[in-house]
Amino acid sequence: MIRHVPNALTILRLLLVPLIIWLMGHGGMGAAFWLFVTAGLTDAVDGAVARLFDAKSKLGTWLDPLADKVLLVSIYVTLAAENHIPLWLVVLVVLRDVLIVLYAVVYVLAGSFSGSPLFISKINTAAQLMLAALVLAHLGLGWGGPVLVESFVYVVAATTIASGAAYLMAASRNVPASNS
Protein backbone atom coordinates (compact mmCIF):
# COMPACT_ATOMS: atom_id res chain seq x y z
CA MET A 1 0.00 0.00 0.00
CA ILE A 2 2.75 2.49 0.97
CA ARG A 3 4.32 1.86 -2.43
CA HIS A 4 1.54 3.88 -4.10
CA VAL A 5 1.63 6.87 -1.73
CA PRO A 6 4.34 8.84 -3.60
CA ASN A 7 2.51 8.58 -6.93
CA ALA A 8 -0.83 9.41 -5.28
CA LEU A 9 0.71 12.57 -3.80
CA THR A 10 2.17 13.49 -7.18
CA ILE A 11 -1.23 13.04 -8.82
CA LEU A 12 -2.78 15.20 -6.08
CA ARG A 13 -0.21 17.91 -6.94
CA LEU A 14 -1.24 17.71 -10.60
CA LEU A 15 -4.92 17.95 -9.65
CA LEU A 16 -4.27 21.06 -7.54
CA VAL A 17 -2.84 22.98 -10.52
CA PRO A 18 -6.15 23.87 -12.23
CA LEU A 19 -7.64 24.98 -8.90
CA ILE A 20 -4.61 27.16 -8.10
CA ILE A 21 -4.74 28.75 -11.56
CA TRP A 22 -8.49 29.31 -11.27
CA LEU A 23 -8.04 30.99 -7.88
CA MET A 24 -5.27 33.19 -9.27
CA GLY A 25 -7.52 34.31 -12.11
CA HIS A 26 -10.42 35.06 -9.80
CA GLY A 27 -8.72 37.15 -7.12
CA GLY A 28 -8.01 34.32 -4.72
CA MET A 29 -4.27 34.87 -4.44
CA GLY A 30 -4.21 34.10 -0.70
CA ALA A 31 -5.98 30.77 -1.20
CA ALA A 32 -3.79 30.11 -4.26
CA PHE A 33 -0.72 30.67 -2.05
CA TRP A 34 -1.88 28.12 0.53
CA LEU A 35 -2.76 25.54 -2.13
CA PHE A 36 0.63 26.17 -3.76
CA VAL A 37 2.32 25.53 -0.39
CA THR A 38 0.26 22.34 -0.08
CA ALA A 39 1.40 21.28 -3.56
CA GLY A 40 5.00 21.99 -2.56
CA LEU A 41 4.59 19.89 0.58
CA THR A 42 3.24 16.97 -1.48
CA ASP A 43 6.43 17.20 -3.55
CA ALA A 44 8.61 17.00 -0.43
CA VAL A 45 6.57 14.22 1.18
CA ASP A 46 6.32 12.06 -1.96
CA GLY A 47 10.11 12.13 -2.34
CA ALA A 48 10.68 11.37 1.34
CA VAL A 49 8.22 8.48 1.34
CA ALA A 50 9.74 7.07 -1.86
CA ARG A 51 13.23 7.14 -0.33
CA LEU A 52 12.39 6.02 3.21
CA PHE A 53 10.14 3.14 2.22
CA ASP A 54 11.94 2.21 -0.99
CA ALA A 55 8.75 3.06 -2.84
CA LYS A 56 10.39 4.48 -5.95
CA SER A 57 8.77 3.54 -9.22
CA LYS A 58 9.42 4.01 -12.90
CA LEU A 59 6.11 5.91 -13.16
CA GLY A 60 7.15 8.18 -10.29
CA THR A 61 10.49 8.88 -11.97
CA TRP A 62 8.58 10.47 -14.85
CA LEU A 63 5.45 11.71 -13.07
CA ASP A 64 7.15 13.71 -10.30
CA PRO A 65 9.20 16.02 -12.55
CA LEU A 66 6.22 16.32 -14.91
CA ALA A 67 4.05 17.49 -12.00
CA ASP A 68 6.73 20.03 -11.02
CA LYS A 69 6.90 21.36 -14.60
CA VAL A 70 3.12 21.57 -14.97
CA LEU A 71 2.77 23.36 -11.63
CA LEU A 72 5.57 25.85 -12.20
CA VAL A 73 4.96 26.60 -15.87
CA SER A 74 1.22 27.06 -15.26
CA ILE A 75 1.79 29.45 -12.38
CA TYR A 76 4.57 31.34 -14.17
CA VAL A 77 2.48 31.79 -17.32
CA THR A 78 -0.47 32.99 -15.24
CA LEU A 79 1.69 35.40 -13.22
CA ALA A 80 3.25 36.79 -16.40
CA ALA A 81 -0.16 37.14 -18.08
CA GLU A 82 -1.24 39.28 -15.12
CA ASN A 83 2.07 41.25 -15.22
CA HIS A 84 3.28 40.00 -11.84
CA ILE A 85 6.54 38.56 -13.21
CA PRO A 86 8.39 39.45 -16.42
CA LEU A 87 7.52 37.55 -19.58
CA TRP A 88 11.23 37.14 -20.43
CA LEU A 89 11.65 35.05 -17.27
CA VAL A 90 8.80 32.75 -18.28
CA VAL A 91 10.33 32.33 -21.74
CA LEU A 92 13.68 31.49 -20.13
CA VAL A 93 12.11 28.94 -17.75
CA VAL A 94 10.09 27.28 -20.52
CA LEU A 95 13.09 27.14 -22.87
CA ARG A 96 15.13 25.42 -20.16
CA ASP A 97 12.33 22.94 -19.59
CA VAL A 98 12.15 22.20 -23.32
CA LEU A 99 15.93 21.69 -23.30
CA ILE A 100 15.63 19.21 -20.41
CA VAL A 101 12.84 17.31 -22.14
CA LEU A 102 14.94 17.07 -25.32
CA TYR A 103 17.91 15.95 -23.21
CA ALA A 104 15.79 13.22 -21.62
CA VAL A 105 14.36 12.06 -24.96
CA VAL A 106 17.83 11.76 -26.49
CA TYR A 107 19.08 9.72 -23.55
CA VAL A 108 15.99 7.52 -23.42
CA LEU A 109 16.45 6.76 -27.12
CA ALA A 110 20.13 6.06 -26.50
CA GLY A 111 19.21 3.76 -23.62
CA SER A 112 21.28 5.65 -21.08
CA PHE A 113 18.76 7.86 -19.26
CA SER A 114 19.12 7.74 -15.47
CA GLY A 115 16.18 10.00 -14.59
CA SER A 116 18.27 11.79 -11.95
CA PRO A 117 18.27 15.59 -12.14
CA LEU A 118 21.49 17.54 -11.92
CA PHE A 119 22.14 19.26 -8.57
CA ILE A 120 21.90 22.73 -10.15
CA SER A 121 18.51 21.71 -11.53
CA LYS A 122 17.31 20.96 -8.00
CA ILE A 123 18.54 24.39 -6.88
CA ASN A 124 16.77 25.97 -9.86
CA THR A 125 13.50 24.20 -9.09
CA ALA A 126 13.72 25.34 -5.46
CA ALA A 127 14.36 28.93 -6.59
CA GLN A 128 11.43 28.77 -9.02
CA LEU A 129 9.15 27.45 -6.29
CA MET A 130 10.36 30.17 -3.91
CA LEU A 131 9.69 32.93 -6.43
CA ALA A 132 6.16 31.66 -7.12
CA ALA A 133 5.49 31.43 -3.37
CA LEU A 134 6.89 34.93 -2.77
CA VAL A 135 4.73 36.46 -5.51
CA LEU A 136 1.58 34.66 -4.34
CA ALA A 137 2.29 35.57 -0.69
CA HIS A 138 2.88 39.20 -1.63
CA LEU A 139 -0.26 39.44 -3.77
CA GLY A 140 -2.55 37.37 -1.56
CA LEU A 141 -1.35 38.00 1.97
CA GLY A 142 0.70 41.19 1.74
CA TRP A 143 3.86 39.37 2.83
CA GLY A 144 7.21 40.39 1.42
CA GLY A 145 7.47 43.16 -1.11
CA PRO A 146 8.41 44.09 -4.65
CA VAL A 147 12.14 44.34 -3.89
CA LEU A 148 12.24 40.77 -2.57
CA VAL A 149 10.22 39.50 -5.54
CA GLU A 150 12.41 41.36 -8.03
CA SER A 151 15.55 40.01 -6.39
CA PHE A 152 14.26 36.46 -6.72
CA VAL A 153 13.42 37.07 -10.38
CA TYR A 154 17.16 37.45 -10.96
CA VAL A 155 18.02 34.46 -8.75
CA VAL A 156 15.65 32.33 -10.85
CA ALA A 157 17.09 33.73 -14.08
CA ALA A 158 20.65 32.95 -12.97
CA THR A 159 19.87 29.42 -11.78
CA THR A 160 17.80 28.75 -14.89
CA ILE A 161 20.70 29.76 -17.13
CA ALA A 162 23.18 27.76 -15.03
CA SER A 163 20.93 24.70 -15.10
CA GLY A 164 20.36 24.93 -18.85
CA ALA A 165 24.10 25.32 -19.43
CA ALA A 166 24.84 22.32 -17.19
CA TYR A 167 22.44 20.14 -19.20
CA LEU A 168 24.00 21.34 -22.44
CA MET A 169 27.49 20.50 -21.13
CA ALA A 170 26.35 17.09 -19.89
CA ALA A 171 24.77 16.36 -23.27
CA SER A 172 27.85 17.51 -25.19
CA ARG A 173 30.07 15.16 -23.14
CA ASN A 174 27.92 12.22 -24.19
CA VAL A 175 27.57 12.99 -27.89
CA PRO A 176 29.51 10.50 -30.00
CA ALA A 177 32.19 11.95 -32.28
CA SER A 178 31.33 12.06 -35.97
CA ASN A 179 33.26 9.97 -38.49
CA SER A 180 33.70 12.76 -40.99
CA 78 to CA 72: how far, in whole Å? 10
In the 8-state DSSP scheme, what is residue 53? T
pLDDT number for residue 175? 58
pLDDT number for residue 110? 74
Sequence-separated (6 or more) residues with CB below 8 Å from residue 61: 115
Average pLDDT, the chain: 91
Per-residue pLDDT band at 41 (split at 50, 70, 90): very high
Domains in the chain, CATH or no CATH each: 2-173 (1.20.120.1760)
At 98-140, the pLDDT tens digits run 988 887 777 777 776 666 788 999 999 999 999 999 999 999 9
Sequence-separated (6 or more) residues with CB below 8 Å from residue 166: 118, 120, 121
At 147-158, the pLDDT tens digits run 999 999 999 999
